[in-house]
Each structure stands twice: as structure tokens, then as C-alpha cells.
Amino acid sequence: MASVLIVDFGSQTTQLIARRVREAGVFCEMISCAKAEKKLQDMRPNAIILSGGPASLSAEESPRPAESIWEQGVPVLGICYGMQSMVEKCGGRVLPHDKREFGHREIDISNENPLFKGMNAKQNVWMSHGDQVSEISDQFEVLAQSETCPVVAVKHREKPWYGVQFHPEVVHTQEGKALLANFLFNVADLPSDWRMDSFCDQQIAAIREQVGSQKVLLGLSGGVDSSVAAALIHKAIGDQLVCVYVDHGLQRAGETEGVKKLFGDAFKMDLRVVHAQDRFLAALSGVTDPEKKRKIIGHTFIEVFDEESFKIRDVDFLAQGTLYPDVIESESFSGAPTAVIKSHHNVGGLPEEMKLKLIEPLRELFKDEVRVLGRELNLPSNVVDRQPFPGPGLAVRILGEITQERLEKVRAADAIVREEIDAGLSSGAIEDELWQWFAALLPVKSVGVVGDARIYADTIAVRAVMSTDGMTADWPWLPKEVLGRISNRIINEVKGVARVVYDISSKPPATIEWE
Ligand code: XMP
């Protein structure tokens, strides 16, 4: 299988380059520029892409591409900082420009070449840079320029090395996808051979080989990642897989029953359901601080999971639904810790003495690739296409104290929001690309009138967001009829709610979840 290595200089959009390359059907991996040397030896990629980055080549200690990149004899595409470092390496000059160029620019392609094959001579691209190439050596020729930037794209005269100052990976670059495809297929002449059915077969063979006749334990949450991991491993080793599902009582309506029905009954997996609702509620009693709630849930989860795992004899492997973005994030470009906005939690932390080896069959995949794999494994669309749901569950959608009564209130309201928005989506009344839609229970009471009586009761917030990755999000103008039905039904059907509000905050600055 052909492969591309993306060397990351810390750009915000490096992951997007990887997405685009995979979408074109070519396998790729990303590596921080500091670790590229070793990775090149192990991987032997068929082409290399150098990402953009926040540094300036004129700054002290700014990173440079590893020397061995230039010795691989494979095509290289430098993007933004990547292009600047390529030009500098060959004797050109890069200088800070008096104006930072950020946003749309029209460029002129002045030179016929494989990178711009089939494209318009004038096109709109997305720029984001402070420095720019001021001089190239005679090893390079200029392929494109703009009014403010004389060197927008370059090609080495002898080697298959190209550079672009703009960002082809972002959607704002009109023909960005086509440019990356040209690099992969016209310049590097790679086959488009990254397919989910062959990935699935490869992984099944690899899991069988790794596991042999031993047993694998998997924490099944019912979310997309653990569900797909379970289906894949089960297909590989059948009953040697034991799944543990912790019912912490913070799930949405119908969740536990759904997991039992699908994995226990339909897939006939060895599924152990641990009923721990009371234990979680007791641990959360009286706690209102969001971070404390998350920590308590994380710890209790690990305790319960560990106790159950300990009861299962002879387990050798722990399976996790770790995805590629988790792997990349834990190897950040700078190595600098990022600010903790919310402590996320996933399964982990088994006792040391269990000495389990890890299996992470999804660690090379992005989320949408996991969904494709799930379909390949015959998982139904209500599992594969489900909206993301936080590990701490409804607890982060109850502001203030978590009690059984408040849990039931938010669960009932959430079911209504989901039913009505799902109906709107399937009837075409809602056209937006929604990412999540749910209810949150606020710690605010207000006055209402029911019949002739005055009530003083709770408030439900309806949250719906459009997003492509959960990192940024915007709220949609839901049709008035849909919002009206949601409000009407919640106030009529959920006892103790007097008011429904619609959350119109984007992320940033607001987060998607309320806590
Ligand atoms: P925020 O609220 O930070 O959420 O804007 C971004 C995305 O992450 C989900 N989320 C979590 N997922 N464990 C998870 O696995 C967690 O603790 C967690 N907290 C938030 C959230 O639903 C959204 O999709």
C-alpha cells in the first residue's frame, strides 16, 4: 500500500491535510518535525508533505525539516512554512512581510505544470502567513504569484519538489482538493489504494495473530468507537472477546437496553452488564462543581470497571477504541501541555498487577473512517451515525446537583429534543448539518401558569450545534415549528419544567456541553 508522511511544523490545519490525503484514497500518517528522521526510516513513505506552522524561519531555534527528507528521493510538497523552509534550504530567502496576509487571495498561475494540471489560471486561495519568500535560487522556478506575494508556488527544476504559500487543505481554497490530488496522482504517481474493506481484513488477520488463543477485555460504552472496536475484534476472535458495559445511570433514554439487544442478542457477544447506578449517584451526591463531577465519574468508572475485570479470569489484552486524533494529540508538535478546558474521560487505568497488553485496532483511523468501518461490519446506522456523547454522560448536562429526579427530568427532555429534531432531519424540515442536539437542565427556577395554578419550576435549555469536528461550533436557526413542538412537549410531558430556552452560543467562546 502506498503511503504519505506528513511532517508537522505545528499548523492548526495539519490534520486537515491528512484528512484530504485519506479522502483521496491514499494512506498517510502525521509526525512532529522533531521525530521525522526516525519515522522516515521505519515508514519509507512514497511521498512527503511538509505542513505550515506558526514559527518564523528568521526566529532563533525555529524548526527545519530533517536532512534525510531531502535524501529520500520521493516527491515533496511544502505548504506555507513547509515551502519556505524548502526554498531556504536551496539558497533562497524568506523575510517577514510588512503586512500579515490572512484570508482569501486571488492568484495567477503562470506556468503549466503537473501540480496545477486542469485548474483555472486564476483562482481563489486561502493564505495565512507573516513571512514570505523574497528570493528563490536558480534551482527553483516560480509557478504562481499574487498581487502582494511574488512567489505563491514553486517547483524545483530537477527534483519532484513543489511548494505552495497558501493552504490547499482548507475548504476556502477553491481548488485545494484538486491540487492535493494532483500532487498525489500526477506528481507522485501513487495508486489510490486505501480502502476500508482491505483495512478491515488486514486488522482481523493482525488481531488473530496478536491474540492467538488468549482473551481480550473491552470496555463497551455504546458509543461509536467502542462499538466498532467490539464488532471488529468479535469478528476476528469471537468468544475470546469479553465486553464490560458499566451502567452508571447517566445514559440517555433506552441506551442500556439498546446495547444489550445489539451486542448481547444480535451479535451474541459475551457481554457483562454492571449495574452501578446507585454507586455513581452516591459518589456524586451534593457535588455541584463541574470539574469535581467529571473527576468523580472518571474515578468511579475506573473502580467499577477494574473490579469487574478482576472477576474475569485469564484476560491478557485490553482493547480500546483509541482513534488517530487521540494518538496525534498526545504527541503534540511542541510537546507543550495545553490548557485543560474540561477533563475528558475514557476507559482506562486497570490495576498494574493485571499486566494487560493493549489492542487498539482503530488507532490509525479518523472518526468518519471508523463510521465507514462500522458499516462494513454491519453495525446499524443508529450506532454508526450517532451523535457524539460525552463520557460523563448526562451529568455534564445537569447544572447543579445530580439527583435521580433531576436525571430523569433531563433524560425525558433529551428524548423529546432528539425525537423532534430527528423527525425534522428525516422530513427535510431541518437542512443543516447538525453535529449534536440535546437538552440540559439548568439550576434556574421560574414562574409559570398551568391551568389556573401558578407553578415555580425548572428550566430546560435546548442545545443544537453544527460542527465538523467538535472543535468549533455554531448554532442553527431551527425551524420555529420544530422548536415550538419541542417546547410544547417538554412543558406538557416533563413534570416540573416551567420554561424552555434555546441556546444561541457559538464555540468558542461557549463549549458545546454546558459543563
Ligand atoms: P465541548 O463541550 O468541550 O465538547 O465543546 C466537544 C465535544 O466533546 C464531547 N465531550 C466529551 N467526549 N468525554 C468524551 O468522550 C468527555 O468527557 C467529553 N466532554 C465533552 C462533546 O459532547 C462534544 O462533542
The minimum-distance atom of ligand 1 relative to the CA of 389 is 22
Of 377, 376, 368, the residue nearest 18 (C-alpha): 368
- Output the residue whose Cα is nearest ligand 1's atom 17: 344
Q: Per DSSP, what are the bridge partners of residue 362?
A: none
pLDDT at position 367 is: 87
Ligand 1 binding pocket mutation candidate from 292, 512, 514, 515 (most atoms within 8 A of CB): 512
Distance from Cα 16 to the centre of ligand 1, integer Å = 20
Which residue's entry shows cell 514559527? 55
The minimum-distance atom of ligand 1 relative to the CA of 436 is 24
The minimum-distance atom of ligand 1 relative to the CA of 435 is 24
Distance from Cα 382 to the centre of ligand 1, integer Å = 19
Residues flanking ligand 1, CB < 6 Å = 342, 344-346, 388, 390-392, 436, 470, 507, 511-513
Q: What cell was used for 43?
A: 515508514
For the purposes of burial, counting CB atoms within 10 Å of the CB of 273, is it exposed (0-12), middle (13-18) or buried (19 or more)?
middle
Distance CA 10, CA 65 (A): 12
Q: What is the pLDDT along the chain (515 residues), one digit of tens a residue?
A: 999 999 999 988 898 899 899 999 999 999 999 999 999 999 999 999 999 999 999 998 899 999 999 999 999 999 999 999 999 999 999 998 877 778 899 999 988 899 999 999 999 999 988 899 999 999 999 999 999 899 999 999 999 999 999 999 998 899 999 999 999 999 999 999 999 998 999 999 999 999 999 999 999 999 999 999 999 999 999 999 999 999 999 999 999 999 999 999 999 999 999 999 999 999 999 999 999 999 999 999 989 998 988 898 889 999 999 888 777 765 555 544 445 555 555 544 555 666 789 999 999 898 889 999 999 999 999 999 999 999 899 999 999 999 999 999 999 999 999 999 999 999 999 987 899 999 999 999 999 998 888 999 999 999 999 998 788 899 999 999 999 999 999 999 999 999 999 999 999 899 999 99
The three-state secondary structure class of 395 is helix
pTM: 0.80
Distance CA 223, CA 410 (A): 19
> Per residue in 353-364, is it b (16+ CB within 10 Å) or e — as a string?
eeebeebebbeb
DSSP class per residue in 338-385? PP-SS----S----GGG-PEEE-TTTT--HHHHHHHHHHTT--HHHHT
Amino acid at 279: R
Q: Which residues are catalytic?
A: 80, 167, 169
Distance from Cα 424 to the centre of ligand 1, integer Å = 24
The minimum-distance atom of ligand 1 relative to the CA of 513 is 2
